[in-house]
Structure 1
Amino acid sequence: MSTLTMQTLDVPGARLHFEVRGEGPLIALVGAPMDAAAFAPLADLLATDHTVLTTDPRGINRSPVDDPRQDSTPELRADDLSRLLAHLDAGPAVVLGSSGGADTALALAQTRPEQITKVIAHEPPLVELLPDRAEIYAGTEDIIATYLGGDVMGAWRKFMAQANIVLPEGAIEAMYGGERDPQTVADERRWFEHELRATDHWQPDLGALRSAGTRVVVAIGEDSAGQICDRASRALASELGVEPAMFPGGHIGFVEDPAAFATRLRELL
C-alpha cells in the first residue's frame, strides 16, 4: 500500500482538501461534484508508480468556501487545480477529469498548458456543443427548480431522463429516499443550486484546445452510448479532429471497475 497524506490549501475564497499518494510522475484525478473519496480505489492502483493527487472540489465535502452563494465554475475549479499543482511542485501533470471535472481539466489546459503533459477529459458535459442545447438548458432549469422546490427524487428522475441514463426499477428510491447522510445531502444541494448550471453552460475555447494537440484526449465510457455526455464528448472530439478513447464502463467507470479503468488509463499514459 502506498503512503497517503491528507492536507489543506488556502485558495481565494476556499480551503481545499487534497490527498497525495505514491511516488513517481504526477497524475491528478479530478471530478465535479465527485470528491476525492470517489477516486480513492483508482488512485491506490495508480500510486504504485505515480504520485497521485485527488481533491474535494471547492464547496464539496471537506473543501469549504467563504461564500456559500458563489457558483462553482470550471474556471474557478481550474484555478484551484492550478494552485494545487503549483503547491505540490511535482509537475507537469497528467490530469484525468471526469464529468464536471473534465470541464475543469479542459479549462486548465486552456489557461495553464505548461502545467500539464496530457489531459484526459472523460465524458465532459459540454452541452454548448450539442444542436439541442436550448432544449437541454430548459430541462436543466426545470430540474434545478424541481430540486429546490423540495422534490428530490423527482429532480433525479428528470435528470436521469434528460441524461438518457437508464437505472433499474426502484434505483432512484434506493439512492435518494429514506435517511441520508447530511454531508451527502449538502453536497447534492450545492451541486443542484450552484454548480450544475455553470458546468452545463461552460463554453470551451476550441482554438486553445486544438493548439494543445495530442495532449488533449477525449475519453468516453463504452456503456454510455446515446447519453448526453457521450454525445457531447463525441462533438468535442469532432471539433478537435481526434478519435475518442474508449474506456470500460459508463459515466462513472472508474467507480464501477477501478482495475479495468486503470488498465485502460495506463495505455494512454
Structure 2
Amino acid sequence: MGDTLKVPGARLYHEVSGTGPVLLFIGGGTSDTSNYDGVGPHFADRYTVVSYDRRGNSRSTLDGPAGPQRIEEHADDAIRLIEHLGTGPADVFGSSSGALIALDVAARRPDLVRRVVPHEAPAFTLTPDEDAHLAILHRAAAEFERAGAAAGMAVFGNGTGVPDEFADAGPEALEALRRIEGNAPFFFRHEMLQFVAYRPDLPALGRHRDLLVPAVGEESVDTPPVQAMRVLAKEIGTEVTAFPGGHVGYLQRPVEFAARLAEVLT
C-alpha cells in the first residue's frame, strides 16, 4: 500500500505491508522502494514492513529546489516514519548510504530502535584511504556531468566494487534498477559527495552497540564500504556479520538474504 507523509521540505512516498512492530528498510544511492520488493514480503507475517523513497528520489518530492543533502535530515525523515507508523521500537535495515542514515538514527534516537543493521555503509571518513575514495567519487561526479548517468555510475561502481553486483542481479532486479535511473542526477549533484562526508558518532554508537549489527556481503572483497564497516565495528566494540551476496545481496539473493536478516533480528 503506497502513501505519503508530509515532512519538513518534502513528501515521503512509502509502502506498508503486514502487521506487527515496524521493520524499516532504508535504500541507498539511486534506489527506491522497489529494491526491497524481494525481501520485504518475507517479514509481513510478523512485522509492519515499511520501505520508502528517500526525499528527492522517485516519488518523494521536494517542496522547493534541490540542494545539498545531509544525512541528519534524511535520518529525521526515517525517525518521522517510525514515529508515524509504529507503536514501539523498530528494527531498521539500511543499505549503502541508507546504512549511514540508519547509523545516525541509532546514534541520536536509540529509544526508537530495537535492532539496526547497517549494510556496507560508505563511511569513508573512518578509513585510512579516505582521500583516495573521495577522489574516485569526484571523478564519478565529473564524468556524470561530462557524459551522463551511465558513465558516472561506471566510474562510481568501479571504485566501490558495485558493478559486478549489479551485473549479477536477476532480471527483476535489473528492471527495477532501470526504473530508478532518473534519480542519478539528484544522487551525483546533491547526495553522493555530501553523504560520504558524514562521520558516524562512534561514542554514541559504542554506548548502544548491542542495538547494532554491522553487515557486509559475503562476496564483497575488501571494497571501500567493507573497509569502513570493519573499522566501524572495531571502534564500537563489535563484529561484522556476513550476509549472502555482495553490496546489493537483497537483489541478488532475496530469499537467502531475508533468512539471514531474520536470524540477526531474532
TM-score by length of 2: 0.90
Shift of 1:167: 3.3
Q: What are the residue-to-residue correspondences of 1:230-269 with 2, within 5 Å? A: 230-269=226-265
SS of equivalent to 1:264? helix
* Equivalent of 1:37 in 34, 44, 47: 34
Determine helix, strand or coil for the equivalent of 1:58.
Answer: coil
Deviation of 1:118 after TM superposition, in Å, equals: 1.0
CA offset at residue 184 of structure 1?
3.0
**1:238 and 1:194, CA in 2 relative to 1: closer, same or farther beyond 3 A?**
same
Match of 1:61, as an amino acid?
S
1:120 matched residue in structure 2 = 117
**Partner Cα distance (1:132, 1:8) in 2:** 40
Q: Which runs of 5+ in 2 are unaligned?
A: 169-176
Q: Secondary structure at 1:71's aligned position in 2?
A: coil
SS in 2 for 1:149: helix
Name the residue aligned to 1:196. 192
* Residue of structure 2 in register with 1:212 after alignment: 208
Residue 9, structure 1, aligned to residue 5, structure 2:
yes
1:186 is aligned to 2:182: yes
The 5-angstrom pairing of residues 81-160 of structure 1 reads: 81-160=78-157
Deviation at 1:213, TM superposition (A): 2.0
**Higher RCO structure, 1 or 2 (CA under 8 Å, sep 6+):** 2
Q: Displaced runs of 4+ in structure 1, greater than 6 A?
A: none
Rounded Cα–Cα distance in structure 1 between residues aligned with 2:27 and 2:162: 19
Asked if the contact 1:58/1:72 (under 8 Å) is kept, the reply is no
Q: Percent identity?
A: 35
CA distance in 1, matches of 2:247, 2:76: 25
* Compared CA separation, residues 36 and 152, structure 1 to 2 (3 A): closer
Shift in Å, 1:138? 2.0
Taking the aligned partners of 1:185 and 1:139, their CA distance within structure 2 comes to 20
The DSSP-based 3-state class of the residue aligned with 1:69 is coil
d(CA) in 1 for partners of 2:22 and 2:86? 10
Shift of 1:151: 4.1
1:161 paired residue number: 158
Q: CA deviation at 1:263?
A: 0.6
Partner-residue secondary structure (3-state), 1:101: helix
Report the CA distance between 1:67 and its aligned residue. Answer: 2.8
1:202-221 C-alpha deviation (Å, 9 max, x unpaired) = 10110000011210110111
Which stretches in structure 1 are left out of the alignment for 5+ residues?
172-179
Evaluate the alpha carbon distance shift between residue 248 and residue 91 of structure 1 in structure 2; reply closer, same or farther with a 3 A threshold.
Answer: same
**Structure 1: distance between partners of 2:5 and 2:264:** 30
Deviates most, 27-36 or 63-72: 63-72
Q: Which amino acid aligns with 1:20?
A: V
AA at the equivalent of 1:161:
N
- Structure 1 residue matching 2:116: 3-state secondary structure: strand
Number of corresponding residues: 255
In structure 2, the CA distance between the partners of 1:89 and 1:267, relative to structure 1 (3 Å rule), is closer
Structure 1 residue 125: deviation in Å? Answer: 0.4
Distance of 1:62 and 1:151 partners within structure 2: 22
CA distance in 2, matches of 1:56, 1:119: 19
Higher-Rg member (1/2): 1
TM-superposition CA deviations, 1:95-127 (whole Å, max 9, x none): 011111100100111111111011111110000
Structure 1 position 43, deviation (Å): 0.8
